[in-house]
Amino acid sequence: MTTRRNLLLTALAAPSIARAQGTAHFPNRPIRIILPYGPGGQSDTVARLIAPHMGAVLGQSVVVENRTGAGGSIGAGIVAAAPADGHTLLFDAPSFLIVPFAVKNLPFDYEKHFTPLGMAVSQPYILGVTASFPAQDIASFVAHGRTGKTIGFGTPGVGSIGHLAGAMLGSRAGILMEHVAYRGGADAARDLAAGNLEAAIITPNSLDAIVQSGRARALGQTSERPSPLLPGIPTIASAGFPGFDLTSWNAAFARSGTPEPILDALERAFRAAVDNREVQDAFRRMGGEPGTESRAAFGERLARERAVVRNIVESTGIAF
């Protein structure tokens, strides 16, 4: 572990200057999208939807690799240590903003070592419960918690929007909620369906199939405004918690120091993939809105959300 850490630190300290030939002929080999979550969940589905369309624009194959662990920092560390030549990208979620609070002594800096390419999709998370759970809505969920029982809730992992939402709901409602971290939303959904988990706060994409099959119920959305793509599911904010507003997204990042012409080429390919009508239709079927922000605008959004995350962590006393 010490050797691997030293190698990573050495790679991060090295100058990240792409050769002129590499810039002129970008891309000159397949592009890797490193996904720090497990297969089958929201992030994995979105990444695999856009990858072939990016590849078609760039004229190279784009390959998605799942590299899980340490709240997503294992995958992010791979990209942080890669050459800044645009051939290794990170595809992440709001954990990108939360992991720095969750994982101590990271050998890289999320804010300094990555530059955004753009957001693919945004959506709320959903609080769902297993079919046998004695609650039909947010009010009865909170009432159950106020009997003194600890409610275990699964999420796609440490530092996910689900993790923050559970801590925030527990703090504001005065109930005990125990976080159960999984390697992805699909894994949490499987345990919820089997009755091994009382509740989960995961994406609509991960939850929908087990709700449709009757093995789980959706109680509330984490966004302040209800998504028109999720009819019949009220917001947690409307159930007595005004201002409760946490929205997830998936976005692509390159290594900081990547030459501007390469970033421009990647952004064009990413934008073309997200703007593809079939991709957008798939996003909406998953309960997500396609992203429309430019690279610069998404960077500004990240700065605002980083401040919000810091406030939630400090106000809830969330433990990672």
- Residue 16: its pLDDT value, please? 42
Q: Which two three-digit tokens encode residue 217? A: 């119920």
- Residue 35: its pLDDT value, please? 97
- Residue 293: its pLDDT value, please? 86
Percent of the chain exceeding pLDDT 90 equals 75
Domains in the chain: ranges and CATH: 2-123+249-316 (3.40.190.150), 126-239 (3.40.190.10)
Query: What is the tens place of the pLDDT at every residue in 136-159?
Result: 999 999 999 999 999 999 998 888
265 pLDDT higher than 50: yes
Specify the residue for token string 């593809």.
Answer: 276
Query: What is the tens place of the pLDDT at every residue in 69-105?
Result: 887 899 999 999 999 999 999 999 998 998 888 778 8
- Residue 8: its pLDDT value, please? 53
Average pLDDT over residues 284-303: 91
320 pLDDT higher than 90: no
- DSSP H helical ranges for 154-224: 161-173, 185-194, 204-212
Q: What share of the chain is helix, strand, coil (3-state, %, to 5)?
A: 45, 20, 35
- pTM of the full predicted structure? 0.79
Amino acid in position 231: P
